[in-house]
Amino acid sequence: MTYFANWKKILVAVVCVFGFAFAAPNIFSDESLRDVPSWLPNQKINLGLDLQGGSHLLLEVDVASVYRERQESVVDAIRTALRRAKPGIGYTRLGVREGCAGFTLRSAGDTERARAALEDVVGESELVVDGLSFRICMSDQERADIQTSAVSQSIEIVRRRIDETGTREPTIQRQGKDRVLVQLPGVKDPERIKRLLGKTAKLTFHLLERGETAVTACGQGRRPPPGAVCLASDDERDVNGDPIQYLVKRRVMVSGDTLVDAQGTFQDAQPVVSFRFDAVGARRFGDVTRKNVGHPFAIVLDRKVISAPVIREPILGGSGVISGNFTVQSAQDLALLLRAGALPAPLTVLEERTVGAELGADSIAAGKIASVLAIVLVIVFIALAYGLFGLMANTALILNMILLAAVLSMLQATLTLPGIAGIVLTIGMAVDANVLIFERIREEARNGRTPMSAVSAGYQRALTTIVDANITTLIAAILLYVFGSGPVKGFAVTLAIGLVTSMFTAIMVTRLMVVTWLHRRRPAALPI
């Protein structure tokens, strides 16, 4: 164990150089790092929610609304299938009842024809026939698949919206069956984030109903004609201060799903949102505008009319502009929502916590004091207990902290207050291996071995104990990371990285210094 191959020396040197390089950005300000070339290490350790402040949101996905939309689409499919049958199949009471899409046949003689017509509509659902009553209900497996898909899509769209806002290292993860946890470190405007996450952002384009005004069709106690719906304006008000109503055709002429880009811009010195469709959307948009020149065209966002311009001429380029009473910020936010895509279901904020920057600053200060105090006390103790060998172990301890910071920066791991606790624990554990080795060397020297033989035997016989102790602790850290969440994971990450770096510094770096000193000085006795 007193022979050190050249490749091992080169490995130690390379690791130390890379450690210093990746840890160095943490001592510079963000402004200084902006001028650093991209090919040089320029990443700093990210601070978690409890260290730099921010917002903690627990959101619930309204899966019930997804079930309702699914059943409403089934109702439309049933209507189409029964009308396409030759001759047509008579029915009444078509709609959604008790969570199922159903209808009642007019004639018992059409029962088998109705079954045949609905084969493609039923799919994985269950068809229940009770006399003239037909119901199509979702199976348990279908409901579970829809729920899983809705929550997964919500997480992805929330991630797109949050990432575009410039928030650094957000934590977005699923909790339970239908909940999403969002932690946003460093957020200065949590209300804006809530507004962005609270909008479903489902954009559709509809024609307005002709021949009947919204005043007569959408009045109190009146029902709109079949195939139409009354939608309120998002920002227009009547003389009484109530939202203006629009009589909009139910049929979606163009869906926002075909949008490929949206940007906040200006038109006639007013903030607007420009948008662009893909090839399919551009063709549909062009066909609709060509056939309806001179008629109003409603742009609907989350069942509110944000604009209802009159089509002056066919729009064939696949792009357009949404105008309204926008501010610069609201236009940019709407463009962001359209780019990120629509949520499959509304999100409800169940829990909200805001951590102030002052609390984060106090946590950082306390963590610094604890870390510095731990390092000083450990350095003093090891130096007094083991003399020159203790100084070598202290040098390795400082290098261990540098390597730990380098790995956290390189992996862009988020450091939390429990993570600082993991670092403090690592400081104590970093010298644990050296203590085992040095005590074993002392014992071998007392038994009459020469310095070279005592050092070799000390490292060789202590190695098994060191590896066993660190592997068992590493297994615990891995289990904490796998089964834990939030702060527990932060503690597990720093503990695991600290174990690996402390093993490297104890077995490689300290031993290299000890062996180099032995070969150069050839002492008659060990100063330990």
pLDDT in the model for residue 475: 92
Q: What is the mean pLDDT of residues 14-21?
A: 91
Q: Distance between CA atoms of 80 and 345, rounded to whole angstroms?
A: 26
Contacts by residues 472-481 (CB-CB < 8 Å, ≥ 24 positions apart)? 473/429, 473/499, 474/499, 474/500
- The amino acid at residue 406 is A
Angle between helices 451-483 and 511-521 (to 10 degrees): 170
Reference 101, options 140, 63, 148, 133; nearest CA is: 133
Has residue 1 got a pLDDT over 80? no
How many angstroms separate the Cα of 512 from the Cα of each of 95, 455, 458, 476, 504? Answer: 80, 12, 14, 30, 11
Has residue 218 got a pLDDT over 80? no
Give the pLDDT confidence of 386-425 residue by residue, as tens digits: 888 989 989 988 999 899 999 988 887 777 778 888 888 8
**HEC letters along 430-480:** HCHHHHHHHHHHHHHHHCCCCHHHHHHHHHHHHHHHHHHHHHHHHHHHHHH
- Give every CB contact of residue 280 below 8 A, 6+ residues apart in sequence: 258
Per the prediction, the chain carries an average pLDDT of 83
Total-model pTM:
0.58
Contacts by residues 515-522 (CB-CB < 8 Å, ≥ 24 positions apart)? 515/2, 515/3, 515/4, 515/455, 516/4, 517/388, 517/392, 518/2, 518/451, 518/452, 518/455, 519/2
Q: Which CATH class is domain 202-328?
A: alpha beta
Q: At which residue do the structure tokens 């906040």 appear?
A: 264
Specify the CATH number for 63-140; select among 3.30.70, 2.40.40, 1.10.3470, 1.10.1060. Answer: 3.30.70
Has residue 448 got a pLDDT over 60? yes
pLDDT tier for residue 103 given thresholds of 50, 70 and 90: very high
Give the pLDDT confidence of 345-380 residue by residue, as tens digits: 888 888 887 776 555 677 677 777 887 888 888 889
- Structural contact between residues 412 and 185, judged by C-beta atoms closer than 8 angstroms: no
Give the pLDDT confidence of 112-131 residue by residue, as tens digits: 888 888 888 888 888 888 88
CATH number of 6-52+356-521: 1.20.1640.10
Q: What is the mean pLDDT of residues 426-435?
A: 82
Has residue 168 got a pLDDT over 60? no
- Structural contact between residues 259 and 277, judged by C-beta atoms closer than 8 angstroms: yes
- Give every CB contact of residue 409 below 8 A, 6+ residues apart in sequence: 22, 23, 25, 26, 41, 43, 44, 45
Has residue 167 got a pLDDT over 50? no
The size of the chain, in residues, is 528
Domain spans in the chain, listed from the N-terminal domain onward:
6-52+356-521, 63-140, 202-328
Q: What is the mean pLDDT of residues 39-68?
A: 82
pLDDT in the model for residue 399: 92
